[in-house]
């Protein structure tokens, strides 16, 4: 169950990048550059691993050449390599990030251009899988499988919002708690209002829901979910 996932954290600077609402514009590239410049190690690593692209005009030239998603995907691959091997690669070879891209594509019907939150969700699950694989003693260790019932329920809503990852997480948790039909009936009756959804759950169900929400919020360092509606 998603509420049983390990307590891991996505690197803060990468989470911040993926939580930005971006389009491939010079203004957006400025926002990305500001975040990259704040982390001294990341700034140095980019100068090494992306040197061929930096020669085309610094970080702005690199982002222009690769595009936001091209840069994002390569940086994600480097972080995945680090999670698996304990160090960053000297050369970034696109390999395991394709698992994350598959999840992003799977839920593209929930996203708008420039929104990388479903990519962030997939990246989080990938890091959880690596943790589970490496920590054989982890209780209830099973690789993560996203149930097809989740897609079937979400696609009925046909809605695109700023935080599709939160919609996925809350819906997935409700399916675990109530089953597919029960989750659909509750979300429909509550018209997507989280407060109304939560009020219809018993104490055990509410604890299950909040456990998963808190774990994901911690994992991506997104703390405003406690004060804003995500469904």
As a whole number of angstroms, the distance between CA 162 and CA 3 comes to 23
CA neighbours closer than 13 Å in the CB half-sphere of residue 165: 24
Residue 202, phi then psi, degrees to nearest 5: -75, 175
Question: Residue 212: is its pLDDT beyond 60?
Answer: yes
Q: Render pLDDT for 73-106 as a digit per residue (tens, 0 to 9).
A: 999 999 999 999 999 999 999 999 999 999 999 9
Model pTM? Answer: 0.92
Residue 101 pLDDT: 97
- Of the candidates 183, 97, 106, which has an alpha carbon nearest to the alpha carbon of residue 145? 106
Asked whether 13 and 38 are in contact (CB, 8 A), the reply is yes
Residue 164 pLDDT: 94
Asked whether 59 and 46 are in contact (CB, 8 A), the reply is yes
Strand partners, 115: 21
Q: Render pLDDT for 104-128 as a digit per residue (tens, 0 to 9).
A: 999 999 998 889 999 999 999 999 9
* pLDDT, mean of residues 161-170: 92
Q: Render pLDDT for 10-49 as a digit per residue (tens, 0 to 9).
A: 999 999 999 998 876 667 888 999 999 999 999 999 999 9
Compute CA distances 178 → 146, 151, 201, 210, whole Å. 16, 16, 9, 15
């Amino acid at each position: 169950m998603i509420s049983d996932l390990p307590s891991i954290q996505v690197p803060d600077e990468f989470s911040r990048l993926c939580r930005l609402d971006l389009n491939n514009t010079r203004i957006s590239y400025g926002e990305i550059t500001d975040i990259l410049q704040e982390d001294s190690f990341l700034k140095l690593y980019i100068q090494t691993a992306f040197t061929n692209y930096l020669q085309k005009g610094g970080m702005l030239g690199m982002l222009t050449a690769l595009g936001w998603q091209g840069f994002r995907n390569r940086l994600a691959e480097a972080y995945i390599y680090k999670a698996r091997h304990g160090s960053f690669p000297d050369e970034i070879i696109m390999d395991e990030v394709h698992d994350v891209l598959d999840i992003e594509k799977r839920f593209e019907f929930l996203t708008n251009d420039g929104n990388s939150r479903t990519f962030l969700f997939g990246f989080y699950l990938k890091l959880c899988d690596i943790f589970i694989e490496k920590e054989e003693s982890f209780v209830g260790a099973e690789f993560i499988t996203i149930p097809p019932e989740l897609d079937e329920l979400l696609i009925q809503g046909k809605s695109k919002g700023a935080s599709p990852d939160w919609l996925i997480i809350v819906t997935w948790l409700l399916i675990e708690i109530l089953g597919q039909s029960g989750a659909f009936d509750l979300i429909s009756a509550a018209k997507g209002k989280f407060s109304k959804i939560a009020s219809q759950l018993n104490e055990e169900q509410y604890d299950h829901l909040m456990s998963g929400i808190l774990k994901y919020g911690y994992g991506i360092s997104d703390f405003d979910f406690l004060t804003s509606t995500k469904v």
